[in-house]
Amino acid sequence: MTEILLKNADLILTMDDTRRELSGADILIRDGQIVQVGKDLHTQGEVHDASGCLVTPGLVNTHHHLYQTLTRAVPGGQDALLFGWLQTLYPIWARFGPDEMFTSAQIGLAELALSGCTLSSDHLYLYPNGARLEDTISAASELGMRFHPTRGAMSIGESDGGLPPDILVEDETAILDDMIRVVDAFHDPSEGSMCRVGLAPCSPFSVSRELMRDAALLARDKGVMLHTHLAENDEDIAYSQAQFGCRPGQYAEDLGWTGPDVWHAHCVKLDGAEIDLFSRTKTGVAHCPCSNCRLGSGIAPVRAMRDAGVKVGLGADGPASNDNGNLMLEARQAMLLQRVANGADAMSAREALEIATRGGADVLGRTDCGRLMPGKRADIAVWDTGCIESAGSWDPAALLLAGPMTVKHLFVEGRQVVRDGHITTIDLPRVIERQNALARALQA
Ligand SMILES: [Zn+2]
């Protein structure tokens, strides 16, 4: 039995069912699980002093493409809209292999961890040159991050009227076979699981209607979740209407892509009827505010979604369209965008933080994460309120209005992954060196 006690936190934002905020309180962790939250707790085990700190649940990232950390700020893609941006990047991604997938995932996940994230999903939809989903699973496992990789796919290449070059698309039978392989090999449905696999055809414009339908059937058969990009921008809506004769919400519903086991990235252009559909079916949304700004896609109707009871989490999205992987900044941006659209009282700092933690955990079907309560997993972010960003703050719990934007300590399943602002589990400077060498080789 291993016990850890976080002692004397200035404030704990529990995100529990009544959103309690406890001052001068402790958290007792046993074997990866929270056993007590309250005052004057004791242990025979390890004690971490959390005085001068704000403690929150670990943040949850519901949408990412980790491999893209190798294509940040690519010149030809810096100012393009979604479709043009993709066409710039596809030929570069076609040169990736297993090493690129592994290293870029370590960088992306370490970056997330430093911003307070303890659980991340990933959407990997291209497998060139022998790359496999387990390249990213090994990266997460070495780092100690709770991970929900999704087996993405593209099957309609340029010669069939699709957007990606033919070299990046796969045969649909092979895609389904590999989906079965990775679920059987890596999906762990148990409570406290460190790895759950999802199925994730890239988007309605890069796979066939049949693959969308078959992936949904397979996911239900295996008891895993479904994920894709949906209603990202105006081009996306126009494509859906031209190709399928309906809006994205209708397309998703017709093919079995709604329900509590489904979450869609972006949803910037959902209309009122689609918001009702998502609410009724308990379909989740991964809101990616910085990526939506970067690609000029628009402001997702998050206020309307939340008011309608739609489950909303945050996504950093791929670093080719962000290009930053700090999830705390994403939460801040989510709050600011709703204020731009709906006024200064449209979203509080606490609500944005709730979306970033408990909200994201619910989207990923992880009600065992995202809240600091007895019985939940010990995924915990500790923020130093003695830092410059907090100096003079009258309410450190309004973290997103001031700061900090990086953690002091981070625990995942009770294991310390960040200590005093540094990753403990991997040699990060060496990984950064490796990543830069790979990026230089891709530019050559
Ligand atoms: Zn994406």
Query: What digits encode the pLDDT tens for the residues 57-105?
Result: 999 999 999 999 999 999 888 888 777 888 889 999 999 999 999 999 9
CA 66 – ligand 1 centroid, Å: 10
State mean pLDDT over 421-430.
Answer: 98
Percent of the chain whose predicted confidence (pLDDT) is above 90: 91
Q: pLDDT tens-digit profile of 184-238?
A: 999 999 999 999 999 999 998 889 999 999 999 999 999 999 999 999 999 899 9
User: How far does residue 386's CA lie from ligand 1's centre (Å)?
Assistant: 35
Average pLDDT along the chain: 96
Distance 65 CA to ligand 1 centre (A): 6
Residue 218, classified by CB atoms within 10 Å of its CB into exposed (0-12), middle (13-18) or buried (19+), is middle
Question: What pLDDT score was predicted for residue 81?
Answer: 78
User: Among 361, 365, 231, which Cα is nearest to 292's?
Assistant: 231
- CA–centroid distance, residue 18 to ligand 1 (Å): 33
Distance of CA 8 from the midpoint of ligand 1 (Å): 39
CA 70/CA 51 separation, integer angstroms: 38
Helix (H, G, I), strand (E, B) or coil at 352: helix
> With 90 as the cut, is the pLDDT of residue 375 above it?
yes
Give the distance (Å) from ligand 1 centre to CA of residue 232: 9
Cα 230 to averaged position of ligand 1 atoms, centre (Å): 9
Q: Cβ contacts of residue 319 below 8 Å, gap of 6+?
A: 65, 66, 68, 69, 71, 72, 108, 325
How far is the centre of ligand 1, averaged over its atoms, from the C-alpha of 398 (Å)? 28
User: What is the per-residue pLDDT for 76?
Assistant: 84
pLDDT tens by residue, 376-394: 999 999 999 999 999 999 9
What spacing in Å lies between the alpha carbon of 202 and ligand 1's midpoint? 8
C-alpha 390 to ligand 1 mean position (Å): 32
Kindly give the distance from the C-alpha atom of residue 118 to the centroid of ligand 1, in angstroms, as a whole number: 19
Calculate how far, in angstroms, residue 265's C-alpha sits from the geometric centre of ligand 1: 7
Residue 96 Cα to ligand 1 middle (Å) = 18
CA 140 – CA 75 distance, rounded (Å): 29
Query: How close are the terminal C-alpha atoms of the chain, in Å?
Result: 52
Query: By three-state DSSP, how is residue 259 classified?
Result: coil
Mean pLDDT of the 282-298 span? 95
Q: Please tell me the predicted confidence (pLDDT) of residue 84.
A: 82
Compute, in angstroms, the gap from residue 283 CA to the centroid of ligand 1: 17
Residue by residue, DSSP assigns 263-305 as EEEE-TT--HHHHHHHHHHT-EEEE-HHHHHHTT-----HHHH
Task: Name the 3-class secondary structure at 408.
Answer: coil
Q: Give 292 Cα–ligand 1 centroid separation in angstroms.
A: 10
User: What does the pLDDT read at residue 90?
Assistant: 92
Give the Å distance between the CA of 41 and the centre of ligand 1: 43
Query: Which residues are within 8 A (CB) of 22 and not within 5 positions of it... i.e. 6 or more apart?
Result: 9, 11, 12, 14, 37, 38, 39
CA–CA gap between residue 108 and residue 334 (Å, rounded): 20
